[in-house]
Amino acid sequence: MEAVTDRKQSAMYNDFSIFLQRRFGVKVQKISVNGGFTCPNRDGTKAWHGCTYCNNAAFSPAYCGSEASISAQIDAGIRFFGHKYPDMHYLAYFQSYSNTYAPLDTLRRRYEEALANGKVLGLVIATRPDCISEATLDLLAGLAERCFVMVEYGVETTNDSTLQRINRGHTFAESRQAICSTVVRNIPVCAHLILGLPGESRSDILNHADAISQLPVTALKLHQLQIHTDTAMAAAYTANPASFHLLTVDEYIALVADFLARLRKDIYIERFVSQAPPEMVVAPKWGLKNHEFTALLTRELRRRR
Ligand code: SF4
C-alpha cells in the first residue's frame, strides 16, 4: 500500500485511496448498492426524461440489482471482492438514481439495512444537489456520529447554461448551497463533474477547477463525456455528430493535467474517467480501462514536472 501511495503522491495529485487509507487504516472497498430510489428528474417532479446523458444502467455494476434487498446486494458485493481480499472492509455506496429522494423513515431504514452488516464501515450517498433537505442532513449527521458518511453530489458543471442544456433541472448555486450545508455538519463531500459537455469550451472546463476549488469539497470525481445508448444525447449525436466535440484520449489527458494544475491541491481525486460496458457506449470509444488511463495521465504529469 505504501508503494502505491508514494507513486500517486509523486504523480502530483491526491489520490482518494490515500484518503481512505488515512481515514480507516485498513483496506476499504466501496460496494455499489441500488437502494430502490428514483429521481425527481425522471418521475415528473422536475422532468420526465432525465438528464440528456443519463442511462443509469451504464454505471450500475452487474451484482447490483434493485430486485435484490440491500443486504443481499451487500452480501453479493462482499462475496465478489472478498475472494481476493478476505480482510477487506466496505462502504455501502448508494449509487443509482437520487439516494436521498424518499421520506425520512424510508431513508433511515435503507441506510440502516446497509450498516447492519458488520463489515460495512459507512455510507457513501450519491444524490442531486436539489434533493437534500435540512431534515435529511440532520439524519445523515446523526449517522455520521457513529460511522463514516460521505455525500456525493452530481454537480456535473459549474455553468448554468450547460445545466439547462443537459436538462439537469438545478443550478450551480444549488450545488454550492448543498455542499456548504453538508460540510457545515461535518459530513465530507465528493463532487462529480463531467468534462466535455456540449457547448463548453476548453476554457469553460478549466474554469470549473477554479469554481470547485472555492468549495469545501473533500473529493472530486471527473468523467469524460461519454454518450450512452438510449439517451436523448445519443439521439442528438446520431442526428448531428458534427454538433459535438468529443475529446480524444490525448486531448482529455492534456485537459485533465491542466485541470489538476488549477485545482486546490488538497482535494482528493477519486476517478478521472467513466467506464460503461462497451455495448452501451455510442461515442467516444476509447477502449481504455481506468488504470490504463491513469497510467497515461501519470506519464504526462511526470513529463510536465
Ligand atoms: S443522471 Fe442522475 S439526476 Fe440525472 S436523470 Fe439520471 S439519475 Fe436523475
User: Structural domain boundaries of the chain?
Assistant: 2-304
3-state SS class at 168: coil
Neighbours of 160 (CB within 10 A): 14
Measured in angstroms, how far is the CA atom of residue 49 from the centroid of ligand 1?
Answer: 9
The pLDDT assigned to 12 comes to: 79
Which of 46, 52, 56 gets mutated to test ligand 1 (max ligand atoms within 8 A of its CB)? 56
CA torsion, ordered 262, 228, 78, 34, to nearest 10 deg? 100
Residue 275 has a pLDDT of: 83
Question: Candidates 43, 97, 170: which one to mutate for ligand 1, based on the most atoms within 8 Å of Cβ?
Answer: 97
Residue having the nearest C-alpha atom to atom 5 of ligand 1 = 50
* CATH tag, 2-304: 3.30.750.200
128 lines ligand 1 (CB under 6 A): yes
* Alpha carbon distance 92, 50 (integer Å): 25
C-alpha cell at 96: 443509482
Residue 136: predicted pLDDT:
98
39 CA closest ligand 1 atom index: 8
Q: What is the pTM of this model?
A: 0.94
Query: Would you state the cell numbers that stand for residue 199, as one nine-digit string?
Result: 457547448
Q: What is the torsional sign of CA 116, 122, 128, 131?
A: positive
199 C-alpha to center of ligand 1: Å? 20
Count helices and strands in the chain by DSSP H and E runs: 11, 10
Which residues of the chain have a pLDDT value below 50? 1-7, 9-10
Res 14: pLDDT? 95
Indicate the residue type of 301.
L
Q: Residue 81 has which C-alpha cell?
A: 471482492
Output the pLDDT for position 7: 46
Residue type, 6: D
Quote the pLDDT of residue 292. Answer: 95
Atom 6 (ligand 1) nearest CA: 54
Ligand 1 neighbour 40 (Cβ under 6 A): no
CB 51 within 8 A of CB 194: no
pLDDT of residue 11: 52
Neighbours of 162 (CB within 10 A): 20
pLDDT value for 3 = 42
d(CA 259, CA 236): 28
Q: Is 51 in the pocket of ligand 1 (CB under 6 A)?
A: yes
As to burial, measured by CB atoms within 10 angstroms (0-12 exposed, 13-18 middle, 19+ buried), residue 135 is: exposed
Q: Enter the C-alpha cell of residue 280.
A: 452501451
Copy the grid coordinates of residue 275: 467506464
Q: Are 208 and 157 in contact (CB under 8 A)?
A: yes
